[in-house]
Amino acid sequence: MRRKKDVFLVVTVICGLLVIGFILLPLLKMFTSPSWENLKAAIQDKKVVKSIWLSIYTAGLAAIISFVVGTPFAYFLARREFFGRKVIESIIDLPMVIPHPVVGIAILSVVGRNYWFGQILSKIGIRVMGSVLGIVTVLTFVGIPFYINTAKDGFESISPRLENVSRSLGASMFSTFLRITFPLTWRSMLVGIVMCSARAISEFGAVVVIAYHPMTAPVMIYERFEAYGLAYSQPVAVLLTLVCLILFLFLRVLSLKHQERKLIK
């Protein structure tokens, strides 16, 4: 029996090393390929800095929008059982499985001039195509499922009895949410915001359909690769990867603190 366990442990370790190697090898090669001079030139390039800042800025806006409109909806899904709930949850998950260019085409079908909604936007002077608004729209579309699902899991982990006690003492539903539910689930919401931002900041396929300009960092990486090859695209890719790495490290720290809090309880 012990021999079988040892064999299984060896297999798990080998599989783990293969997975880690599969992920790290391309990234390490990408990080070590650009010279320091190329990286320095990319950091000093105003277009590169602007594109990375645009990616961070629009991803942050998408996360804020997801937080504002997604929090009440996530709470509703966590607390209510109703006919068609599984269908609603499947619809929420659709942006995660739809091919990215299809997302851009779908949004373009609505905001384009050939559709009544797009015509209304055009008449009142709102431009979605080739604008920051268009980028934020796309990033919210692809990022909001990550926030809603994470926040919903956080709400489901809190016993409704705590809220019922607050309501029985005369507190309103809104007051109960602010004083009881929110303090207990804010870490899950913050993790959801980070997840949403991380997903949004890496989006390319849908963004390039809606707004090739102004350029986000993924679009700039693609353009430089197509025009000049790896030597010019790798430095920008390294900088964007570092930003994503910082976001996910932040996420892991929050998750660790959340687990420690559960263990203490």
Residue 208 lies in domain:
37-264
- The label of the residue with tokens 């709470």 reads 75
Instruction: Report which residue type is found at 17.
Output: L
> Are the C-beta atoms of residues 151 and 188 closer than 8 Å to each other?
yes
> Are the C-beta atoms of residues 193 and 263 closer than 8 Å to each other?
no
Instruction: For residue 113, give the H/E element and its range.
Output: none
Between 229 and 217, where is the model more confident? 217
pLDDT recorded at residue 2: 58
- Strand, coil or helix: what is 204? coil
Residue at 53 is within a domain: yes
How far apart CA 234 and CA 225 sit, in angstroms, is 8
- Strand, coil or helix: what is 59? helix
What percentage of the chain exceeds 70 in pLDDT?
93
What percentage of the chain exceeds 90 in pLDDT?
42
> Are the C-beta atoms of residues 218 and 204 closer than 8 Å to each other?
yes
How far apart CA 91 and CA 78 sit, in angstroms, is 16
Residue at 187 is within a domain: yes
- Strand, coil or helix: what is 130? coil
Q: What is the mean pLDDT of residues 176-185?
A: 90
- Strand, coil or helix: what is 166? helix
pLDDT recorded at residue 57: 92
pLDDT recorded at residue 104: 92
The angle subtended at Cα 255 by Cα 250 and Cα 259, nearest 5°, is 150
Residue at 82 is within a domain: yes
Q: What is the mean pLDDT of residues 9-14?
A: 88
pLDDT in tens, 237-249: 998 888 888 877 8
* Lowest-confidence segment of 176-185, 201-210, 244-253 by average pLDDT: 244-253
Q: What is the mean pLDDT of residues 129-155?
A: 94
Q: Does residue 203 have a pLDDT over 60?
A: yes
pLDDT recorded at residue 9: 84
Rounded alpha-carbon distances, angstroms, from residue 225 to 135, 228, 237, 245, 257: 21, 5, 10, 22, 40
Q: What is the CATH number of the domain that holds 80?
A: 1.10.3720.10
Q: What is the mean pLDDT of residues 38-53?
A: 89
Between 264 and 112, where is the model more confident? 112
Residue at 21 is within a domain: no
How far apart CA 226 and CA 234 sit, in angstroms, is 12
Residue at 8 is within a domain: no
Encoding tokens for residue 112? Answer: 């384009």
pLDDT recorded at residue 255: 63
* Lowest-confidence segment of 12-21, 68-77, 140-149, 224-233 by average pLDDT: 224-233
How far apart CA 113 and CA 68 sit, in angstroms, is 29
Residue at 4 is within a domain: no
Whole-prediction pTM value?
Answer: 0.86
Count the domains in the chain. 1
Residue at 13 is within a domain: no
Residue at 10 is within a domain: no
* DSSP codes of every residue in 193-224: HHHHHHHHHT--HHHHHH-SSSPPHHHHHHHH
